[in-house]
Amino acid sequence: MIMTRGHKIFNIFNIIFLGVLGLTMVLPLVHILAQSLSNNVAINSGQVSFWPVGFTLGSYKIILRDPTIWTGFRNSVIITVFGTLINLFMTTTMAYPLSRPEYLFRKAVLIMVLVTLVLSAPLIPNYLLVKQLGLLNTLWALMIPLAISAFNLFVMRSFFMNLSVELIDAAKIDGCGEFRILWKIVLPLSKPAMATMGIIYAVAHWNRYAEAVFYIDKAKWYPIQVRLREIVFQDQFGQSDVTSELLQFLSTEGIKMAVIVVATLPILLVYPFLQKHFIQGLMVGSVKS
């Protein structure tokens, strides 16, 4: 294909625009990282921009000595791992039958799901439901009520509808049941969609905050995001003799930035391993044959 002058100008404009947009997203993170590695004098005097000034790891030492941080990490990891597995299982097992035209009441179920997408339930009914189920002050309260996202369900259904009907019919002729077709044929072909849905669900679980505040009032079950808020807005650091000594030489802003880095880093490290499938999955359901 021959590139015309208009195409070249358009490509250059896109590169510049996306580059500037990318910088607006990356530079704040770089600034946060620089502050977390700078001493209190540099931070308080406003010398830190995008490079550490007066390099120190004191802020991270305070965080690593705070047992509540590790408790929050443990809870967030449990919520993210098991919550994502529940999400993928429930979304997949519901999206597949809704994608097959031979199943009865398919349209009626889709309408009911669509209603939940447009009209979400208020907080008080949700709270009463969680309470009646006995899920208050448990990590299950942050996973089971959010087992299926209506939007992700429609995306997954759209992907299943684009799979080869002939392949599924051939499996039925060979004697495969529906669960075997789903496990042996549909899911292996759905790795890009599963990776995309998995990342979306995992990020949502890792950033879970509002539900934890509503349904949990015991500190031992707080996820990392609730602990992060206590540190950022209320300056509630884990107290010990070492922590008190270090606080005399460190800026509270630097500690807050270090907590943000520690709370953000795990989910950033997961993405490179799923990048290939995630990029493929971005086009899930966008093209219908």
**Dist. CA 33–CA 11, nearest whole Å:** 32
Tokens 């008080």 identify what position? 124
**Dist. CA 78–CA 84, nearest whole Å:** 10
Please report which confidence band the pLDDT of residue 82 belongs to, taking 50, 70 and 90 as the band edges.
Answer: very high
Per-residue pLDDT tens digits for 7-50: 888 889 989 999 999 888 888 888 888 888 887 878 778 788 88
Residue 150 has pLDDT above 70, yes or no: yes
Residue 78 has pLDDT above 90, yes or no: yes
Residue 67, number of CB atoms within 10 A of its CB: 10
Residue scoring higher pLDDT (194 or 231): 194
Provide the percentage of residues in the chain whose pLDDT is more than 90. Answer: 9
Task: For domain 62-281, say whether CATH 1.10.3720.10 is its number.
Answer: yes
Question: For residues 88-104, b (16+ Cβ closer than 10 Å) or e, as one string?
Answer: bebbbebbbbbbeeeee
163's CB contacts (< 8 A; 6+ apart) are: 186, 189, 190
Residue 258 has pLDDT above 50, yes or no: yes
Q: Are 12 and 18 in contact (CB under 8 A)?
A: no
Residue 264, number of CB atoms within 10 A of its CB: 17
Both structure tokens of 259: 């907590």
Residue 2 has pLDDT above 70, yes or no: no
Residue 131 has pLDDT above 60, yes or no: yes
- Domain ranges for the chain: 1-56, 62-281
Per-residue pLDDT tens digits for 201-249: 888 898 888 888 889 888 888 898 888 877 766 655 555 444 454 555 5
Helix (H) or strand (E) holding 150: helix 150-161
Residue 92 has pLDDT above 70, yes or no: yes
**Dist. CA 192–CA 278, nearest whole Å:** 6
